[in-house]
Structure 1
Amino acid sequence: MNFKKKAALAMAGTALAATSLVASAVTLRVGNQGDALSMDPHSLNESLQISVNENVYEPLVTRGRDYKLAPALATSWKQTSPTVWRFELRKGVQFHDGTPFTADDVIFSYERAKSDGSDMKTYVGQIKEIKKLNDHSIDIITIAPFPILPELFTHFNIMSKKWCETNQATKPVDRRKGIENAASFRANGTGPYRLRERQPNVRTTYVRNGNYWGKIEGNVDEVIFNVIGNDATRVAALISGEIDAMEPIPVQDVGRIKAASNLKVLQGPELRVIFLGMDQKRDELQFSNIKGKNPFKDKRVRQAFYQAIDIEGIKRTVMRGASVPIAQMFPAQVSGYAPDLEKRLPYDPEASKKLLAEAGYPNGFEVTMNCPNDRYVNDGAICQAVAANMARVGVKIKLEVETKGTYFPKILRRDTSFYMLGWTSSTVDAHNVLYAIMSTPGDGGRGQFNLGAYSNARFDELTDKIASETDIKKRNDMIHEAIKIHQDDIGHLPLHAQTLNWGAKKNVDLVQWPDNGMMWRYVTVK
């Protein structure tokens, strides 16, 4: 056989192999009501964005199938003193562009995550400094003893120092200011999937990372993440087979999908609590007809709002039973939850009217309420129900409902008087919520998402002590006291814990994490 014939046969064989590879490639088509707003892992501390981006970027410590802590870019960790943690880093790991992963990337990512514009300060706020021992060993020094540091690191994702410097992306994308850079649309992580094509608010395509350091348990080669904002359209896409999986299922359609012979519903309790916040800092509300003072500084007004909300009615008519009304800012699965404090103030419109009158607002007042319509389950409908409840006690709500793409930048700038937010304790520990959501806003991510600036000095003191306390009973007693202080102050208005509802074809196996994370490395399409 001559050379030309051999070459032709070789080329033909290569083409057949390529065709076979394409034919056998497994694609997962996901539908969601919203999009990840940026590919930058430090730009927005929002669960969907975290879930999507953590298929591309990785933390030092992750969670396994069972949601328990597991090694990721760190292979081991231990405390060498009360304020020092030694992390051994994984060797032989490459970023998607081929750059080796080293300690320099961890230190760079720490500086980036704590800088202005970062939404991830709460994950690194306990750190004083990181010392490089060698390319794959670091010492993390905390400001004070912090025994749950590994749990805090599960969403502290590592970026390539070299890539960020080369692409002028050394600072995070600041969603509050609308500033974007290369990290907004491109990605270079170490994770099991690579970003291939980005069409914001339409679809984003990912492909399996052939050089991934770890095991990808599932068989998905390509993921197409589709944004389908309309509930009916999203459900129709699943039923027709245009997509393979979706979340969330609109609560009114759960039964319909359960009844479909080729579909299934994955349900479970979520760690997220939905709540309402009020501006308690400004001397005059930005968005109200009350001038010269701030009604929300008066506890009687905050309590009146609380008791005007028919939470059982919202559960019954809006959530169709897919919620658990709650009196605390985190659910029962979270360490530190206090069962004896799980008692909401009663729904009582007459008591609400009396409290408003005592506070000097016998005819109520007007205030703007900001809400998303594509972030939480039935978020817009919940806010409409709250507005209707408030009308019964004389409070006129001017409801502003919008897509999360414009909603989050606005409320994160604190351009709001009354707002909705949801929070998941990523550490499955109370401190995460006490520190980020309920503490007085300050340095190191303290109160970064306490957007109404609720403040109580004793609460802050307890939060600091809770961070360092290793005695479980003492720690839980302090958490209990902190919860009680916040409840007595009516610091926020807790509504309910959501229930997770995902839909999928029956031939798609998914792992549903309680933080609503969907990790594609666990997905198998049969």
Structure 2
Amino acid sequence: MKLIEHYVALVKTGCAEYGQMNEMTLTEIANCLFCTERNAKLILHKLENNNWIIRESGAGRGRKSKIAFLRRPEELLLQTAKEYTMSGKLKKAKELLQQYQSTFPGLQNEYNMWLSEVFGFVTETGENGTKDVLRLFITPESVSSLDPCQIFLRSEGHFVKQIFDTLFTFDSDMQEPKPHLVHGWEEVEKKQWRFFLRKGVSFHNGQPLTSRDVAFTFKRFLELGDNPYKWLLHGVKQVLEKGPYCVELILDKPNALLPYALCDERLSILPAEQDGGKNGTGPFQVNQQHSGMLVLEANERYFKGRPYLDRVEFVFSEQAGEMNGFTIQEKQTCPEQQTVFDERHVQYLSLNLKKKGPLQHRSFRKALRLLISSERLVREAGGHRRIPVTSFLHPSPFEWEGVSPSELLKKSGYEGETIVLYTFSETDHREDAEWIQNICAEHGIKLTLQFCDAADLRRPEIVQMADIIHDSATFYQDSEFGFLHLLLSENSFLYQHLSEKLTQIYSGMTERMFSMPDRCSRIDILRDIDRQMIQELNAIPLYQNVLQVTSSKNVKGLVLDEEGWIDLYSVWLSK
């Protein structure tokens, strides 16, 4: 039992008013607490140290002690639930409240009122004046790394973009890169590019941004042995400083995609002085990061203009994934609004063509594709699942060719071997995986499920143990880069599962694409790869999500970024 539970048990046995003495023998206290008299003394001592009781010991064996209870148990229970919550222990807080719901029926309502005031969009007044604060729960693994080169989860990409900046950003209206940390650039010839940096941009520590920082960032990017994204600087062989505000890249082969690649947050600019680190030029700076939370504060000197929010606090909790969507509210009661965003991500299955087993047979893969109907999954699983898809880039119906799954399974020679599907442990991944497992079981396919955390799924040996991995592909405003990450990033499940033959085919096609200045021609090549991928059945696209954001009507500027998170830079509170 926790100390608070001991206290509540003792209070229930007392009959005097709070602050008045209750007479109890040590034996009665031990019986009440279901412990020995020795342990009862230890518990009483702890309660005294916490100033929850005052005790006068009775003299002699069997004599009654006098105990005065100083705190109302419901106040202590609420305080304990709050402490659990602020340390990310949502499950413990929930269990504690449920345990005493019948004894203190108003406790849950008080907790809910406190939660709505503290979490979400709140305005707080303190020694430093009034601050607009956004406070949210996230899982600890959402920010396993803030190193741009080590981004694995979408959430990590989101946080990197709050802290750091890139040379370019992608203009979704014009569908082309636009200057960000640079004010201009020129392609001297097909293998030589120059980029001219803005003056007056500072890192969070006040140091000015110069060409030295950009050169350091790109050299580090190319030299890091475990960087899975080196293809982003395709063909780059030299990085030269041409004065304090000009950087020159020398290539050994043409790369028409270079300005597009420089929009990617994995190429965010790091400070040379600190050998990288969490000191960026972005709209928010890291104020705290420890096992309990991540705190970001507005960058007062941000070159694009200060963010509207003053501070964003992310409290780490293993149960954060169970909280559906975002609730962004302000402290004062205000009518709510719900904003719905269609995510550009595609949930899909990657089929491991490197592993021996039934998946080596195309007929078995096709049987799986026929059984795992995107339309049926969206219809039956419901929830956030919105748009069934049959490919990544080109909308096209799947060709049944008049053959049944049972005929294909028979043709493949499947004899009941176990197929293992790996996926993340979050609720939506579990629901999809269990739905797929049930569909397979109905048709005699033995499918077992392995739910993993992100740290495990980063490991190549785990990826190769899986027959199938269920994942979500991030498709950016520039859809070609989302697909290229699937094909070329070395930590992509699809990249790791491709057969050697398909890897060579796709590599040859993407190599040609890098030399093409015409974007339409590049998209055509990617669509050809997409068609081949669907025909070879080394991936099964499933659906796109919808994300619902609930906020008070005073919360403005809600925009969803490419990672499916709220754009922290643009959101603000009208008063």
Structure 1 length as normaliser, TM-score? 0.75
2:372 maps to which residue?
309
CA 1:243–1:346: 2 relative to 1, 3 Å: farther
Alignment counterpart, residue 159 of structure 2, candidates 44, 52, 59? 52
1:161 maps to which residue?
272
CA 1:53–1:477: 2 relative to 1, 3 Å: closer
Q: Could you tell me how far apart the structure 1 residues matched to 2:326 and 2:513 are? A: 47
Matched to 2:274, the amino acid is W
Say if 2:416 is the partner of 1:364: yes
- Residue 373 of structure 1 deviates from its aligned partner by 2.6
2:295 maps to which residue?
205
Equivalent residues in 2 for 1:438-477, closer than 5 Å: 438=487, 450-454=495-499, 455-456=501-502, 457-471=504-518, 474-477=521-524
- Sequence identity of aligned pairs in percent? 19
1:525 maps to which residue?
573
Say if 2:130 is the partner of 1:27: no
Query: How many residue pairs align between the two structures?
Result: 442
Equivalent residues in 2 for 1:397-408, closer than 5 Å: 397-408=447-458
Alignment counterpart, residue 147 of structure 2, candidates 9, 15, 40? 40
Q: Once the two structures are superposed, what CA deviation does each residue of 1:188-237 show, in whole Å capped at 9, x if it has no partner? A: 1111211111134x421111122323313x42111112345547963599
- Residue 489 of structure 1 deviates from its aligned partner by 1.0
CA 1:128–1:504: 2 relative to 1, 3 Å: farther
- Residue 121 of structure 1 deviates from its aligned partner by 2.6
Q: Once the two structures are superposed, what CA deviation does each residue of 1:242-266 show, in whole Å capped at 9, x if it has no partner? A: 999xxxxxxxxxxxxxxx9733332
Q: Secondary structure at the match of 2:339?
A: strand
Task: Report if aligned partners of 1:275, 1:420 keep a CA contact under 8 Å in 2.
Answer: yes
CA 1:119–1:347: 2 relative to 1, 3 Å: farther
1:190 maps to which residue?
281
1:9 maps to which residue?
none
1:423 maps to which residue?
473
CA 1:236–1:144: 2 relative to 1, 3 Å: closer
Q: Once the two structures are superposed, what CA deviation does each residue of 1:61-97 show, in whole Å capped at 9, x if it has no partner? A: 1247979644322222232222322211122222222
Residue segments in structure 2 that go unaligned for 5+ positions in a row: 1-124
Q: Could you tell me how far apart the structure 1 residues matched to 2:162 and 2:473 are? A: 21
State which structure, 1 or 2, has the greater radius of gyration over its C-alpha atoms: 2
Task: Report if aligned partners of 1:237, 1:243 keep a CA contact under 8 Å in 2.
Answer: no
CA RMSD of aligned residues (A): 3.2
Q: Secondary structure at the match of 2:430?
A: helix
Matched to 1:451, the amino acid is Q
Q: Secondary structure at the match of 2:349?
A: strand
Q: Once the two structures are superposed, what CA deviation does each residue of 1:279-311 show, in whole Å capped at 9, x if it has no partner? A: 2124x3xxxxxxxxx322222222122112132
Task: Report if aligned partners of 2:338, 2:549 keep a CA contact under 8 Å in 1.
Answer: yes
CA 1:497–1:102: 2 relative to 1, 3 Å: same
Q: Once the two structures are superposed, what CA deviation does each residue of 1:418-440 show, in whole Å capped at 9, x if it has no partner? A: 2112222346143551x43236x
Indicate the structure whose relative CO is greater, using CA pairs within 8 Å and at least 6 residues apart: 1
Q: Could you tell me how far apart the structure 2 residues matched to 1:381 and 1:195 are? A: 35
Task: Report if aligned partners of 1:56, 1:193 keep a CA contact under 8 Å in 2.
Answer: yes
Alignment counterpart, residue 136 of structure 1, candidates 245, 258, 264? 245
Q: Could you tell me how far apart the structure 2 residues matched to 1:514 and 1:468 are? A: 26
Q: Could you tell me how far apart the structure 2 residues matched to 1:436 and 1:395 are? A: 31
Q: Could you tell me how far apart the structure 2 residues matched to 1:192 and 1:108 are? A: 21
Q: Could you tell me how far apart the structure 2 residues matched to 1:466 and 1:431 are? A: 12
CA 1:129–1:262: 2 relative to 1, 3 Å: farther
Q: Secondary structure at the match of 1:224?
A: strand
1:98 maps to which residue?
206
Matched to 1:343, the amino acid is P
Q: Could you tell me how far apart the structure 1 residues matched to 2:173 and 2:555 are? A: 18
Q: Which has the higher mean CA deviation after the structures are superposed, 81-90 or 119-128? A: 119-128
CA 1:67–1:481: 2 relative to 1, 3 Å: closer
Say if 2:221 is the partner of 1:108: no
